[in-house]
């Protein structure tokens, strides 16, 4: 398997940040939950407030540059971290970005929308999520006729190249866990478009680790995610030319912690943000990471995650989002 890991490590990559990101022990939460909780700080990166998308973008931007493209097109909700980070990565690489923006969320100049505008993203609003892919295709045609060379990135960077980013992160997580003298029993994170979870699962398989990856869905049903994750995993091993395959049973996703769906903010979500801020001084966001942390805590209480085990929580970012949802959050402060 070393040859396979080497293959991923030597895949073309446009370096956007210095790695590894920090991993810290959450002492108070560990005591309260009676687990050994390590937090992988993928929210701490030097590119425009960071987040999980950056790891995927290192591979995606390298591909766009190798094809001679000069403009990236992608899509996301109003609070999309993926759009912000695509634009920041593009700027670093000397490219422009067009983004198709869909509901939910406010389009006010706050949070990620504010940062998108600072980065000079061309924002194109559509009313329905179902219209977003065809709008990206239309924009690509328009840009081509204007002599540009566009590169379309699927929502969330959910592609084989995106998966590679988190395959490598799993190596980082195992190495850092060793420096704490432990091996993770569980790795838990917010899951949405799938490349993070598919990548971690692939990386851990390559490294023969028996750590269990748990995805907490921010909106999609587990069954939909399981088939998406399986496809992403199997498409990625194809480009690597390796003999691994996944089936839907390889992925564990809980969809009961999205509290009414993507972008819906409830008292549970804000209580979790307050709890983690007041125990560890760590900011969670209300769309992804607070829901994932709520799921982690509940799974410990339910005994699904065993007391005494080592749990790595990946803080996948979302730092600008609380500012975009200040009004909703304030209701529960």
DSSP reduced 3-state for 304: coil
CB 189 within 8 A of CB 196: yes
Nearer to ligand PLP, 37 or 195 (CB): 195
How far is the C-alpha of 179 from the C-alpha of 242, rounded, in Å?
A: 30
**Residue 156 contacts ligand PLP per CB under 6 A:** yes
Nearer to ligand PLP, 170 or 196 (CB): 196
CB 252 within 8 A of CB 187: no
Closest CA to 7 of 243, 291, 308, 324: 243
Q: Are strands 36-41 and 23-25 parallel, antiparallel or unpaired?
A: antiparallel
Active site residue: 66, 80, 177, 267, which one? 80
Closest CA to 268 of 253, 278, 258, 279: 258
Nearer to ligand PLP, 184 or 286 (CB): 286
**Only segment of 125-133, 186-194, 250-258, 266-274 that touches ligand PLP (CB under 6 A):** 186-194
**Residue 219 contacts ligand PLP per CB under 6 A:** no
Q: What is the DSSP string of 198-253?
A: HHHHHHHHHTT--PEEEEEESSS-HHHHHHHHHHHHHHHHHHHT-S----GGG-EE
**Residue 318 contacts ligand PLP per CB under 6 A:** yes
Least distance in angstroms from the C-beta of 80 to ligand PLP: 7
Binds ligand PLP by CB under 6 A, chosen from 74, 78, 81, 102: 81
80 a catalytic residue: yes
Site for ligand PLP in 189-218 (CB under 6 A): 190-197
Binds ligand PLP by CB under 6 A, chosen from 251, 275, 288, 294: 288
CA 190, 293, 51, 236 dihedral sign is negative
Nearer to ligand PLP, 254 or 288 (CB): 288
How far is the C-alpha of 51 from the C-alpha of 317, rounded, in Å?
A: 4
**Only segment of 98-106, 243-251, 302-310, 313-321 that touches ligand PLP (CB under 6 A):** 313-321
Q: Which residues are catalytic?
A: 80
Q: Which residues lie near ligand PLP (CB under 6 A)?
A: 51-52, 81-82, 156, 190-197, 288-289, 316-318
């Amino acid at each position: 398997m070393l040859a396979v890991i080497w293959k991923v490590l030597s895949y073309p990559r446009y370096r956007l940040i210095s790695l590894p990101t920090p991993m810290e022990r959450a002492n108070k939460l560990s005591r309260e939950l009676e687990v050994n909780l390590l937090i992988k700080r993928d929210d701490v990166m030097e590119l425009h407030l960071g987040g999980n998308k950056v790891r995927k973008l290192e591979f995606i931007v390298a591909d766009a540059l190798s094809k001679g493209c000069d403009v990236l097109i992608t899509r996301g909700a109003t609070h999309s971290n993926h759009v912000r980070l695509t634009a920041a990565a593009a700027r670093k690489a000397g490219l422009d970005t067009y983004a198709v923006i869909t509901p939910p969320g406010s389009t006010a100049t706050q949070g990620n929308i504010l940062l998108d505008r600072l980065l000079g993203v061309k924002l194109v609003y559509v009313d329905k999520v179902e219209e977003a892919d065809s709008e990206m295709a239309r924009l690509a045609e328009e840009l081509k006729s204007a002599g540009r060379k566009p590169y379309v990135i699927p929502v969330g960077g959910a592609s084989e190249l995106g998966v590679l980013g988190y395959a490598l992160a799993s190596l980082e997580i195992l190495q850092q866990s060793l420096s704490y003298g432990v091996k993770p029993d569980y790795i838990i994170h917010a899951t949405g478009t799938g490349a993070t979870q598919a990548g971690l699962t692939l990386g851990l398989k390559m490294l023969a680790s028996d750590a269990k990856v748990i995805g907490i869905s921010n909106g999609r049903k587990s069954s939909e995610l399981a088939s998406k994750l399986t496809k992403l995993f199997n498409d990625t091993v194809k480009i690597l030319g390796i003999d691994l395959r996944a089936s839907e049973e390889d992925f564990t996703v809980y969809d009961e912690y999205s509290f009414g769906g993507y972008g819906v903010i409830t008292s549970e979500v804000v209580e979790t943000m307050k709890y983690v801020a007041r125990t560890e001084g760590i900011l969670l966001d209300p769309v992804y990471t607070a829901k994932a942390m709520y799921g982690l805590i509940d799974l410990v209480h339910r005994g699904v995650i065993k007391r005494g085990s080592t749990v790595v929580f990946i803080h996948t970012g979302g730092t600008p989002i609380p500012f975009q949802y200040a009004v909703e959050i304030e209701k529960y402060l």
